Amino acid sequence: MNICVTGGAGFIGSHLTDRLIDMGHTVLVVDNLTTGCREFVNPKAEFVEMDIRSQELIDLFKRFKPDYVFHEAAQTMVPVSMKNPRLDCDVNLMGLINVLEACLVAKVKKILMPSSAAVYGDLDTLPLTEEMQGHPSSFYGLTKLTTESYLKLYYEAFGLPYQCFRYSNVYGPRQGHGGEGGVISIFCEHLIHGKNLTVFGDGEQTRDFIHVNDVVEANICGLNAADKIGVYNVCTETEISLNELIEVFRKVCKRPFQVDYEAPRAGDIKRSILSSKKSINELNFSAKIDLTSGLQTTYDYFADNKTM
């Protein structure tokens, strides 16, 4: 099949592209390389450097005729959304609408894309299920929640099927320093350069960390579940505090290091753990990679690709 991956030079998108090509699909990667890396793009994929907000995207879709679209391109950093809500909205909403319009013109069979655990905000009832009403505490979470509504309305109004994945905190090789799982890549970079770790808050804030390979598997399960439409959590359903994460890093890093605690950041969520029940039942997906082994491969990747 012809499959387009927007953001395919980025962290998750590049891993997804690799998997799709291994499965024998013809893949088009669209990325403006603002945060993505050209060297991450599989050489067997067609690559077009383009912003998802470009009006040329429709002509590109007309030419390539994608059967499915994985829309991974986004502004993913909570602090950036708080400092520049206009940019966050422009990329995550106006960019989305442009992609959706291109999908309609090209008669795409389904669009699959990430939402985020950030749509929930700080809710008291855990684990978080897809039916819960979110109260985002950041503009990033707000644009992702709005994204879900756009997908639902495009399906109801224009018949464009969709799957939207509420990723928990994704980590793994090729990750940059931003995004929702970015704390792990930041910690890896600091540790391999002999620096101290910095935690914003008391370290008791919790996250549901999931390895990028599991996230890719969830997307493939979604692709294979052709009749399923809607929103799905993609998670491990395991709640880990940053302090607990640091203890795992001590085992992985195998050297002493210091942790500095600073004031909490605006927009950060205190506790987060997602329910995986719906994804297991409807997509036949469950995460397989445990945190210790996932952190080890991630740390080794950053150590092997150490920059000065």
Contact 11, 212 (CB under 8 A): yes
DSSP bridge pairs for 3:
27, 68
Of residues 140, 154, 162, 232, which has the active-site annotation? Answer: 140
- Please give the structure tokens belonging to residue 103: 């999908």
- Please give the structure tokens belonging to residue 264: 């909490």
Distance from C-alpha of 242 to C-alpha of 250, rounded to nearest angstrom: 12
Contact 273, 128 (CB under 8 A): yes
Active site residue 140: yes
The alpha carbon of 77 is separated from its chain's Cα centroid by a whole number of angstroms, namely 11
Distance from C-alpha of 148 to C-alpha of 90, rounded to nearest angstrom: 16
Distance from C-alpha of 175 to C-alpha of 214, rounded to nearest angstrom: 14
Sign of CA dihedral 227, 220, 78, 101: negative
- Please give the structure tokens belonging to residue 301: 């990747």
Nearest to 47 by CA among 15, 8, 80: 8
Distance from C-alpha of 167 to C-alpha of 177, rounded to nearest angstrom: 17
- Peptide linkage before 161 cis (omega within 30 of 0): no
**Terminal C-alpha separation, the chain:** 41
Distance from C-alpha of 30 to C-alpha of 47, rounded to nearest angstrom: 6
Active-site amino acid positions: 140
